[in-house]
Amino acid sequence: MILVGDKTVNKQKVIALIRSIEKETELLSYDFELLQIYEAIIKTRSIKGAMAEVGVYKGATAKFIAELKENKPLYLFDTFTGLPNVEEIDKPRFFKGRLVASYQRLKEYLAEYSGVFIYKGVFPATSKPIKNINFSFVNIDVDIYSRTLDCLEFFYPRMNKKGIMILHDYQWVKGVKKAVDVFFVDKPEAVMKLRGSQGLIEKI
């Protein structure tokens, strides 16, 4: 635990955390993308609600969030068997079974953190434990069109006002971008393009 319980978190300490995580497990985000997540979490600390990540893989970003979450519960979701069925828009970059990870290893990796709950399976079939929970921060990193749309349909109505959703790969992956753009076409929120791949939604 590098940042847990630290009330004077700054970007230098966050960078040190990123370097530590890089040595421990496979990290698929750039430093500046994790700093965007850090800034979103800091911004939403005063907002009531739980935190969640869908698309956990080997737990690099999950550990990063766990270090910053303070006393909020963190709910994590992944198939752990790789991507489910993909559509034409997702191919050829993504295919069924890509990004397999170990559920047991993730449990062990995050065992030191309290208030972290891990669910195995295809979301939102695994969402029953959180169906009556509202959220202040959600990180969506599921790579493909259908899963991105499923996540938005589930979490959007459960986001508290000024809660933030980070949408990984929004700018770089056509299936993710299409799902986000289709979902928000009739919503009051605008998708903010961040540096790199990510998009951000702040609930109105």
What pLDDT was estimated at residue 12? Answer: 87
pLDDT tens by residue, 12-24:
899 999 999 999 9
Asked whether the beta carbons of 170 and 176 are under 8 A apart, the reply is yes
Architecture in CATH for domain 11-202: 3-Layer(aba) Sandwich (3.40)
Measured distance CA(105)–CA(198) in Å, rounded? 27
Measured distance CA(153)–CA(123) in Å, rounded? 11
Write the DSSP string, 102-131.
-HHHHHHHTTT-TTEEEEESSTTTT-GGGT
Provide mean pLDDT across the span 34-58.
97
Provide mean pLDDT across the span 77-104.
96
What pLDDT was estimated at residue 4? Answer: 52
Measured distance CA(4)–CA(46) in Å, rounded? 17
- The CA-CA-CA angle for residues 190, 193, 197, to 5°, reads 135
Write the DSSP string, 161-183.
EEEEEEETTTTT-HHHHHHHHHH
What pLDDT was estimated at residue 11? Answer: 82
Radius of gyration of the chain from its Cα atoms, rounded to whole angstroms: 16
pLDDT tens by residue, 140-152:
999 999 999 999 9
Residue 1 has pLDDT above 80, yes or no: no
Provide the mean pLDDT of the chain.
95
Tokens describing residue 40: 């979103």
The confidence band for 41, taking pLDDT boundaries of 50, 70 and 90, is very high
> What residues does each domain of the chain span?
11-202
pTM: 0.94
Residue 5 has pLDDT above 60, yes or no: no
Provide mean pLDDT across the span 166-195.
97
